[in-house]
Amino acid sequence: MVLTQQRNIVTRTWGSSVGKKFVMAVTGVIFLLYVIAHMIGNLKIFFGRETFDAYSEHLRTLGADIFGYSGVLWIIRVVLIAAVVLHMVAAFSLWYKAKRARPVGYQHKGHQGSYAARTMRWGGVIIALFVIWHILDLTTGTVNPDPAGGAYGKLVASFDRPVVAIFYIVAMVALSFHISHGLWSGIQTLGGNSAVKQHALKSFSIGVGVVVAVGFAIIPVSVMIGLVR
Amino acid sequence: MRITLRVWRQKNADAKGKMEKYKLDDVEEDMSFLEMLDVLNEKLVLADEDPISFDHDCREGICGSCAMVINGTPHGPQKNTTTCQLHMRHFKDGDTIDVEPWRARAFPVIKDLVTDRSAFDQIIQAGGYVSVNTGSAPEAHATPVDKVSADDAFDAATCIGCGACVAACPNGSSMLFTSAKVTHLGLLPQGQPERQTRAISMLAKQDELDFGGCTNVGACAEVCPKGIPLASISRLNHDVLGATLTGARAD
Ligand code: HEM
Ligand code: SF4
Ligand code: FES
């Protein structure tokens, strides 16, 4: 038979469509864990300026005696950047393969599958663009009206612009959809689904997606209605 | 019933096709979809026109030939039903119905609604079998199979290889078909020796034949006339993951 199986685990994984999905599922789980930790951290905004700014500083001094100031933060950043690159390259490669698989489309368009499932690709692109804006706004302060305001000051200054607050909320809805399908899909990709568990797994993923969206979006909403000043 | 059909007409593999309109005013609701096309074809022949080519064989939902996409849904609107078993009573008087061939690079159109689906045979050849010694059949009770596995394997074995899953998939992926065979054989003791290499070999073949990659949209399971569950794909993924980590090889 044709020699299709590769000796090396990297080419073996990357060389099949399902192998690329394994990469997407594992990197997706990394994002999801990060996103949840990030959300819990953000909610400290409701405990006031001191607590929030202290938390921001704490992230940088965490493990500083071993890894240096911001060391742990940089390790997290490098892991996330590597994960984003792998996730996106795998997604685009499968996107291209899907386009190639159907050169002539249907005249009568049917809509099978959930909205979340059908918007994974464009939704993912929107999230990636949002992440870039988000870093320029709240991390580097490049596009922030109050770049020297500290973590709390930057956040309030940013969401005082209604357009930005609404863009943020829209991006969180997109993220929620992405997680609602992605988490379930990732479990199925890693072989963890069964006909009996499927309904529960799907509901659980939607639940996680909703919790994440609400947990993040509550902050710009609170700034807009004046709860957080 | 009066029915307007818009059918994909394409002279041969290289010709550019288009949708053609046909009006029928004597459709009976007890006709199957294929009988309705037969009636149309008789009229076309009498009018000295080229009849519509479509695949069919058993007309009882077991051979998987009757491939056509009806109003955007492979095998039409009725769940768990092949086109040959779909009856015109599921449509209304005055309806316009669009009929198109399966659309996938791996299933090229030969003529009108007829596609070449031999790509499925190649996927089966790549690993959809068990290797056994020839000779007299072994005593059936010598290899016990538990009831749940036997039932699930049987359900997976009901896949008729129709290709509706590929036709419906937004990625043009054949994962449901491949996973049905991997589930069928992988649940039985006879299928164990080749279980991991079967999964990667069949997957490698479907990738090579330009089927798309699965994103677990689930359109396949929605249209599958045999109700093959989406979770079968998880079983295939599970075996592929095992083979990828351990480096199982078929050569
Ligand atoms: C160009 C950008 C992106 C594209 C095209 C994309 C596409 C996808 C696709 C197709 C999946 C489904 C994987 C599957 O079917 O198993 C997925 C899963 C996922 N993606 Fe993305 N994505 C992108 C960016 C992002 C970003 C920036 C994040 C982080 C916030 C993210 C978070 C996730 C998560 C959490 C999952 C779930 C995977 C799992 O739990 O296993 N994605 N993505
Ligand atoms: S899995 Fe279902 S839709 Fe796909 S080929 Fe088999 S019977 Fe047809
Ligand atoms: S003609 Fe055999 S399944 Fe429809």
Candidates B98, B215, B217: best to mutate against A (most CBs of A within 10 A) is: B215
Nearest neighbour of B172 by CB, restricted to A98, A118, A189: A98
Contacts 24+ apart (CB under 8 A), A193-200: A193/B230, A193/B231, A193/B233, A193/B234, A194/B231, A194/B234, A195/B229, A195/B231, A197/B231, A198/B229, A198/B230, A198/B231
Range B3-111 classified under CATH 3.10.20.30: yes
CA–centroid distance, A217 to ligand 1, in Å, is 19
Q: Note the pLDDT tens digit of each residue in B157-177.
A: 999 999 999 999 999 999 999
Q: Whose CA is nearest to atom 5 of ligand 2?
A: B161
Tell me if B162 CB under 6 Å of ligand 2: yes
In order, the DSSP letters of chain B are --EEEEEEE-SSSSSPPEEEEEEES---TTSBHHHHHHHHHHHHHHTT-PPPP---S-SSSSS-----EETTEET-SSTT--GGG-BGGGS-TT-EEEEE----TTS-EEETTEE--HHHHHHHHTT-S-----SSPPPGGGS---HHHHHHHHHHHT-----HHHHH-TT---HHHHHHHHHHHHTSGGGSTTHHHHHHHHHHHHHHTT--------HHHHH-TT---THHHHHHHHHHHHHHHHT----
> Predicted confidence band at B251 (pLDDT cuts at 50, 70, 90)?
low
Cβ(B65)–Cβ(B55) below 8 Å: yes
Could you please state the CATH topology (level 3) that the domain comprising B118-246 is classified under.
Answer: Fumarate Reductase Iron-sulfur Protein; Chain B, domain 2 (1.10.1060)
**Helix (H, G, I), strand (E, B), or coil: what is residue A175?**
helix
pLDDT > 70 in chain B, percent: 99
Cβ(B195)–Cβ(B241) below 8 Å: no
Q: Whose CA is nearest to atom 38 of ligand 1?
A: A28
Tell me if B97 CB under 6 Å of ligand 2: no
pLDDT value, residue B141: 85
Q: In the predicted model, is pLDDT for residue A5 greater than 90?
A: no
- A3 in contact with chain B, both atoms CB, cutoff 8 A: yes
The residues spanned by each domain of chain A are: 9-101+114-224
Task: Tell me A46's DSSP state.
Answer: G
pLDDT value, residue A3: 42
Atom number in ligand 2 closest to CA B180: 1
Atom number in ligand 1 closest to CA A183: 40
pTM beyond cutoff 0.95: no
Place of tokens 């010709």: B15
Task: Tell me A140's DSSP state.
Answer: S
Q: In the predicted model, is pLDDT for residue A1 greater than 50?
A: no
The string over B93-129, giving b where at least 16 C-beta atoms fall within 10 Å of a residue's C-beta and e elsewhere, is: eeeebbbbbbbbbbbbbbbbbbbebebbeebeebbbe
Average the pLDDT over B199-220 and give the result: 96
Could you please state the CATH topology (level 3) that the domain comprising A9-101+114-224 is classified under.
Answer: 3 helical TM bundles of succinate and fumarate reductases (1.20.1300)
- B249 in contact with chain A, both atoms CB, cutoff 8 A: yes
Nearest neighbour of B72 by CB, restricted to A3, A106, A194: A106
Q: Note the pLDDT tens digit of each residue in A194-229.
A: 999 999 999 999 999 999 999 999 999 999 999 988
Rounded-to-integer distance, Cα B194 and Cα B131, Å: 8
The residues spanned by each domain of chain B are: 3-111, 118-246
Q: How far is A100 from chain B (nearest CA, A)?
A: 7
CA–centroid distance, A151 to ligand 3, in Å, is 65
**Helix (H, G, I), strand (E, B), or coil: what is residue A116?**
helix
Q: Which of residues 115-134 of B touch A (CB under 8 A)?
A: 126
Atom number in ligand 2 closest to CA B223: 3
Q: Whose CA is nearest to atom 18 of ligand 1?
A: A182
Question: Which range has the worst mean pLDDT, A156-160, B140-144, B145-149?
Answer: B140-144
Q: Note the pLDDT tens digit of each residue in A144-163.
A: 999 988 999 999 999 999 99
